[in-house]
Amino acid sequence: MITQWKFNHMQSYKINMRFLTLSIAALASAVTVLAADEVKIDVTRAVECERKSQKGDKISVHYRGTLQDGGKQFDASYDRGTPLSFVVGKGSVIKGWDDNLLDMCIGEKRTLTIPPAFGYGDRAMGPIPAGSTLIFETELMGIDGVEAPVSIIEKSSASSVADSATEGVKHGAASVVSKAAEAAMTILADTDGDGQEHNEL
């Protein structure tokens, strides 16, 4: 015969297991969103240099911007023949630029795929529809106070910055997973007041 204590104990365990299952599903969804909302960096020309762009530098950047949906170009400094100058890392431009044009050599080229959260969000901006993912081909033309190299020395591999960005996403996702796992294990603690824990998992 199942005692009332045993019955209550089993019911509590079933409820906790259902909660754990829902928590894991929500966690998987959160990790997917985290990865989807990151800016993707492709270094299309890696360059060797001693001085890279830093937060607070005034830099000059050539760019070409297109919409991921349909590939339509909405702006390009290349067409005007004049790069855009701004102080990087200080909020002068969209976050997708501000955070991802750092640690860059003069002459280096990067293609940034910028989701709405790091672009213009839900606002329409001229030819850019609300909620657009933007693709920018960028080229660092100069850093104020830093002498431009006489010649550009390209690296043999252009993957270093992209790898670094990917590792950043992985670290963020791992942190979310770790915290959720700790919370889930806490939920599995016995709620009937006997001080015991469930060790079935």
Please indicate whether residue 75 is annotated as part of the active site: yes
Is 7 a known active-site residue? Answer: no
Helix segments in 46-148, DSSP class H = 77-80, 95-98
For residue 118, indicate whether it is catalytic.
no
Question: What is the rounded distance in angstroms from the CA atom of residue 98 to the CA atom of residue 92?
Answer: 8
Catalytic pick from 63, 86, 98, 135? 63
136 catalytic? Reply is yes
Name the catalytic one among 42, 75, 99, 190.
75
Burial of 113 (0-12, 13-18, 19+ CB in 10 A): middle
Instruction: State in Å, rounded, how far the first CA of the chain is from the last one.
Output: 26
Please indicate whether residue 69 is annotated as part of the active site: no
Identity of the residue numbered 40: K
120 catalytic per annotation: yes
For residue 170, the number of C-alpha atoms closer than 13 Å in the C-beta half-sphere is 6
Catalytic pick among 120, 128, 135, 143: 120
Residues carrying an active site annotation: 63, 74-75, 94, 120, 136
